[in-house]
A = this chain, B = another copy of it.
Amino acid sequence: MNQMTSRRSGGRAARRASRAAPLDDTLRPVRPGMEGGTLNVLTPAQIEKIHAAALEALDQIGLADAPQSGIDYMTAAGATLGGDGRLRFPRALVEDTLARANRGITLHGRDPAHDLRLSGTRVHYGTAGAAVHMVDIEGKQYRDSTLQDLHDAARIAETLENIHFLQRPMVARDIEDTCEMEVNSVYACCAGTTKHVGTSFSDPAHAREGIRLLHMIAGGEGAWRDRPFVSNSNCFVVPPMKFATESCQVMEACIEGGMPVLLLSAGMAGATAPSTVAGAIVQAVAECLAGLVYVNAVSPGHPAIFGTWPFGLDLRTGAMTGGSGEQALLSAGCAQMHRFYDLPGGAVGGIADSKLPDMQAGWEAMCSNVMAGLSGLNMVYEAAGMHASLLGFCHESLILGDDMIGQALRCVRGIEVDDETLALDQMREVCLGGPGHYLGTAATLGRMQADHVYPSLGDRTSPKEWAENGKPDLVDKARARKEAILATPSAARFNPMLDAEIRKAFKIHLPM
């Protein structure tokens, strides 16, 4: 094949420059909300079996530890409280909930251009997690993550085309008071990006404080409720099959405050969920169905994301692993269950077990990311930046993730087959008395922007050019881009008057 790779010269710089202008949106080869669904790791019969097992688990095992308010809501809806304190869900209740749940929700961005419409197999990629470390590439160190790190992540995400939302990926460990930490996390994210933000609260009172801040950012409660641009990531269960009492109370506060909720069931296959892929999916589905009953019992039709997030475990060590093939299958299988229910859903992709953005990180993150997208997962959480099985977040990886996800999205877009793309006429013209190649055909030139994703930092030079360019290091390039992004003032920041008001009302730890 080598003889075919020698055409690497001639007027390239000029051609590159002429094609570097930003693309009209309709010409972009990939975009948020492309439709997946070509990957089906489960057959229809397998899906039915998982569904039936989940229904049976809800009917016979049920969930313990609901707060009294939740017991009241759910028993009123038709759940039964057993003598063992477990709430059980008859099949009819679950089916009724499924029939009435909100199945086409919008996750708003503060900028409407970033609205995400969750339905069908529309795919979106973004960050998430609760990493406690920042990966410091220069020092090869894992250090405690800070509020500034979180704000910087938001600012970086704002600039990356293929990062469609920013769920808080790490914990601001430099703020001791939990309520202040959570409110400041909302501030730091929203001040950094106009894309949809996901966050998390540990106490209903904190949620109410956070929503008070959001009212100010939005310009009043009405504006907030019209376009809630922050969702709450609710670990509403402690798997296996127990409600997380306090987190449920937070969820009720969020529903009350008009905030979309992510019903997050994060079992670990082999520890808090069955070790088998199928079993872990059954339990996650059962738990999220219980959550869906809960949400709809509190407020019918409230926007909820079906968040089956089963994680893998390295059974040799008992440690979590998110970069495995088993993990990719867990999320791909969950995506199919979401499609089966026709519910907006999310799961994890993109996690690296590797500690640094190296080759392992690349293959781990791509495996689950591309499979999640091909499965038509609406929300691919933790898609970029996550290392050490979620313990560390890395700004450089987030930036490189933009290229990786662009490629995954190209695969999600798939193959168009029509008379033009089948290219029979072109083939005839080229071969029968034509030039014998397709380099200059109108079809080739006309489609070169709309059909092809070009990496931003990924290197496609020849070895010769690469050497001439000084053999640039990929991670160094990402660091340089990070520095350039962070050297530019944030376009998402609040106007100074609003910011002053916010700082009067809340103790904001981020410098002005």
Bound together, the chains give a CA A439 to CA B271 distance in angstroms of 5
A444 touches B315 (CB 8 A): yes
A192, CB-defined interface residue at 8 Å: no
B2 touches A171 (CB 8 A): yes
A366 touches B362 (CB 8 A): yes
* Closest residue of B by beta carbon distance from A56: B424
Q: A354 — which chain B residues lie within 8 A by C-beta?
A: 458-459, 474
B361 touches A426 (CB 8 A): no
Q: A329 — which chain B residues lie within 8 A by C-beta?
A: 410-411, 414-415
B273 touches A389 (CB 8 A): no
Give the distance to chain B from A356, nearest Cβ to Cβ, in Å. 8
A320, CB-defined interface residue at 8 Å: yes
A463, CB-defined interface residue at 8 Å: yes
Residues 281 to 295 of chain A near chain B (Cβ within 8 Å) = 281-283
Query: Which one of A119-127, A130-138, A176-184, A211-219 contacts B?
Result: A130-138
A191, CB-defined interface residue at 8 Å: no
Bound together, the chains give a CA A268 to CA B6 distance in angstroms of 12
* Closest residue of B by beta carbon distance from A445: B315
Q: A189 — which chain B residues lie within 8 A by C-beta?
A: none
- Chain A 125-151 near chain B by CB (<8 Å), digits 1 or 0: 000011111000000101000000000
A279 touches B133 (CB 8 A): no
B360 touches A274 (CB 8 A): no
Say whether, besides A53-B422, A422-B282, A317 and B16 are in contact (CB < 8 Å). yes
B4 touches A266 (CB 8 A): yes
* Closest residue of B by beta carbon distance from A12: B317
A460 touches B422 (CB 8 A): no
Bound together, the chains give a CA A253 to CA B407 distance in angstroms of 42
A93, CB-defined interface residue at 8 Å: no
Q: A397 — which chain B residues lie within 8 A by C-beta?
A: 359
Bound together, the chains give a CA A314 to CA B400 distance in angstroms of 19
A326, CB-defined interface residue at 8 Å: yes
A363 contact from B2, B274, B363, B388, Cβ within 8 A: B363
B388 touches A462 (CB 8 A): yes
A370 contact from B321, B371, B417, B475, Cβ within 8 A: B371
Bound together, the chains give a CA A318 to CA B129 distance in angstroms of 40
Say whether, besides A275-B438, A421-B279, A2 and B390 are in contact (CB < 8 Å). yes
B427 touches A282 (CB 8 A): yes
Bound together, the chains give a CA A448 to CA B443 distance in angstroms of 52
Q: A129 — which chain B residues lie within 8 A by C-beta?
A: 1-2
- Identical copies in the complex: 2
Bound together, the chains give a CA A167 to CA B272 distance in angstroms of 44
* Closest residue of B by beta carbon distance from A400: B359
- Chain A 42-86 near chain B by CB (<8 Å), digits 1 or 0: 100010011001001100110010000000000000000000100
Q: A277 — which chain B residues lie within 8 A by C-beta?
A: 415-416, 421, 451
- Chain A 163-190 near chain B by CB (<8 Å), digits 1 or 0: 0000000010000000000000000000
Give the distance to chain B from A157, nearest Cβ to Cβ, in Å. 18
Say whether, besides A390-B1, A427-B240, A437-B240, A444 and B38 are in contact (CB < 8 Å). no
Query: Which one of A224-232, A428-436, A479-487 contacts B?
Result: A428-436
Say whether, besides A371-B411, A423-B278, A355 and B471 are in contact (CB < 8 Å). yes
Bound together, the chains give a CA A133 to CA B277 distance in angstroms of 42
In the assembled complex, 26 residue pairs joining A and B whose CB atoms fall closer than 8 Å, in A order, are: A2-B132, A8-B319, A16-B316, A19-B316, A38-B40, A50-B417, A240-B436, A270-B444, A274-B443, A275-B438, A275-B448, A276-B421, A277-B451, A279-B426, A314-B452, A324-B452, A326-B451, A328-B370, A333-B415, A355-B461, A358-B473, A359-B362, A363-B363, A366-B367, A367-B370, A371-B411
Shortest 6 CB-CB contacts between residues of A and residues of B = A362-B362, A279-B423, A325-B410, A274-B423, A363-B366, A362-B363
B-contacting residues of A (Cβ < 8 Å)?
A: 1-2, 4-5, 7-8, 10, 12, 15-16, 19, 38-42, 46, 49-50, 53, 56-57, 60-61, 64, 84, 129-133, 140, 142, 171, 240-241, 266, 268, 270-279, 281-283, 309, 311, 314-321, 323-326, 328-329, 333, 353-355, 357-367, 370-371, 374, 388-392, 397, 400, 403-404, 406-411, 414-418, 420-424, 426-428, 430-432, 436-439, 441, 443-445, 447-448, 451-455, 457-463, 466-467, 471, 473-475
